[in-house]
Structure formats: structure tokens, C-alpha cells
Amino acid sequence: MRRSFLAFCVLILSATSLRAEETVVHTTIDSVGLFKNGLAVVERSVELAGPGTYRIEDVPTPVHGTFFIESTTPVATRATTMLVDSPLDVIDGPLQDQLAGKEAAITLREQPNPILGTVAAIEPGDKSKQWNRGYQGSSSMYDGWGRAISVAPAAGRFLVLETKDGRVLVDQAAITSLKITGDAKTAKRRKPVLMLTLAEGAPKQTVHLSYLAKGLAWAPSYRVDLVDDKKLAIKQNAVVKNELMDLKGVEVFLISGYPSIDFAHVTSPLALQQTWTAFFTQLSSPPSADRYGNRAAMQQQVLMNSISNGEGASGMAAPPDESIDVHYESIGKQTLEDGDALALDVGAAQADYER
């Protein structure tokens, strides 16, 4: 036990010492398995060249208790925020972060001569933190998937500029033009990142990440053909809706049945938009509070069970021999951007019948 603890301490110290040598890596989405209630099993992998710290900028938002890493040697995982290269966003993105370090010429109303200087890099202060320690009796806001919504701090009113005469605070509402020297298409934005650290002596390896996430699901529909007097034909159609992330050539599995996960409505504390206050609130809330998640799936399952048991739509009891039926059906590699929908035939069957 003591040896394991010491090894863990060495791993954490290595993570700290290698902080400045981090390497940006990109994960490959190997497969996604879609349940019918908005949950998806995501399998990702990433190649790590050996000891060091690696940065993943496409950070997942996993369901509580479902994030796991498989690797040859132990991996220290840390979620944090950093200024990373992103396309310039003049509408929603804070200019202070995005333009930090860039030379700029700012023209103001009723001031013909522009202000020349370098946009200052301002580190966020404690006031930007959105958490508190009043866990009991707290309330949180949630999005449509039952995830806590973290309210981002409002963008600063002033743009801080480093000039030859010192720092100048420019009222952004008074700016009529802003000229940037050099590349104006990319900028810095503060975003969540995931740091993976391999300790000294670790070999080159493929690290696998798996977790449950919300936003990717499928819905079935069926067509019954009774034209033939002797044969009954059933055709199954599936609609896949992607509200999670871009998929490019990813193998997609359709999963029948509904997963029994007590905390499917709880976002993992690993997600930076999650706070302990929101986490404890979600834990103490019943799953039915997830307005668009498990409740709809449970109602559909109860309805289908009742009809198949001859009770009609108002019955609540499931058939006595009802069992969990989970079946994986691959629909091949698919490309779906965030927001896309896909409809396709997934099966057909025939059977003898009598009218």
C-alpha cells in the first residue's frame, strides 16, 4: 500500500515538473454506442510517445462514474483551463483573452489619433470562480440534458492595452475600429483542456478513454406490410440525431433496451462546468428531474410493456417474464457533424401469418 502511494506521488510530481513541456495530441473516436434515451458509449484512443504531459483540447463531459482510462502504465489525468489557439470570435469571445499579446491600433469616437499598443494578457482573478461551499439547500440551473449550467462571467468592459506610456484601459463601447498587426484570423481563448501525464520510464503506448455522454441517440420506427395473404413483412428504420460532437468515419452501434444507471443525470466532477454544489444537488435529485433524459425513455418502455401485456396504454405493470434485452447492431462507419440527423434502414423480416 505504501509503495503504491509513493508511486502515485512520483506520478503527480512528474506531472507538475513536465507542465511546461506539454504536447498537443488529438484523440481518435473509435466507436460510439447509442442507447435510445440520449446516452452514448464513447470509445476514444490517443497515441502517447512516452514520458511527458500531453494536452487534449477536445474535452469530454462524462456522466458521473463512467470515465475510465486504459493504458499500459498509470496515467495522471487533470482537467484545467488554458488559453489555446482558436478562430477569432468577435461576437461572443472576450477580446482581452483572444487578442492577448497582439499589436493593435484602436480608434475611439471623437478621438482621431489611434491608441497604439499591445493587448495585455490578464489572468482571471478569484471573482471569476463560480463555485461556493454552501452545498446544503443549494439550487442550480440545468440544461436540457440535466447537466449543470455554469454561468460564465460577463466580459470585461475595458480592453487593457500596454503602451509606451503605460497601461491604458479602453472602453470597448467607445471603440470604432480595431486594427490588429499580423494574423487576425486566429486568437487565444480560455477553454477546458485535459492533461494526460506519463511518468519517467513509461513506454510509447496507445491510451484508451471510454465514458458515457449525453447528446447522441437513436429512435426506431417500424413498418408492417400485410399485402400478402400468407406473409407478414416488418421493416425497421432508425433515425440517429447527433447533438454531441462531430463524427468522421466513426463506427456507430445501435443498442436496444435501456441502460439502468442510477446517476445517469449526474455530470462527472471531472467536467469543469460542474461544481460540487451542482454535483451534490444532482445526486440528491431523483432521476425524473432529468426532463429530457431517462424519464421519457422510461415512459416509452412502460407504455410498450403495457401494450404487449394486453393492458392498454393506461397499464403500468410490466410482463412478469420481462428481462433486460441489450443488442448491439453496427450500422458501419458514419460521418455526422454536430446537429446532423441520419435516417436509414437497419433490418427487415418476414413471417407466416393468418388473417
Q: In what order do the strands lie in the sheet with 158-163?
A: 166-171, 158-163, 111-119, 103-108, 175-180
Domains and CATH numbers, the chain: 2-82+192-212 (2.60.40), 84-133+151-191 (2.30.30.520), 216-269+286-352 (no CATH)
What is the rounded CA–CA span in Å between residue 147 and residue 61? 9
Which three cell numbers, joined as nine digits, stand for 303?
Answer: 407504455
What is the rounded CA–CA span in Å between residue 89 and residue 93? 5
- For every one of its 355 residues, what pLDDT tens digit does the chain have, with 9 covering 90 and above? 555 544 445 444 544 444 456 899 999 999 999 999 899 999 999 999 999 999 999 999 999 999 999 999 999 999 999 888 888 887 777 888 888 889 999 999 988 899 999 999 887 665 456 667 766 554 445 554 444 444 444 556 899 999 999 999 999 989 999 998 877 777 888 889 999 999 999 999 999 999 999 999 999 998 888 888 788 888 889 999 999 999 999 999 999 877 778 888 899 999 988 989 889 989 888 775 444 444 444 444 443 444 344 443 333 333 444 445 578 889 999 999 999 999 999 877 777 777 6
**The one-letter amino acid at 350:** Q
Model's pTM, two decimal places?
0.70
Q: Count the helices and strands in the chain (H runs, E runs).
A: 4, 18
Helix (H) or strand (E) holding 283: helix 276-284
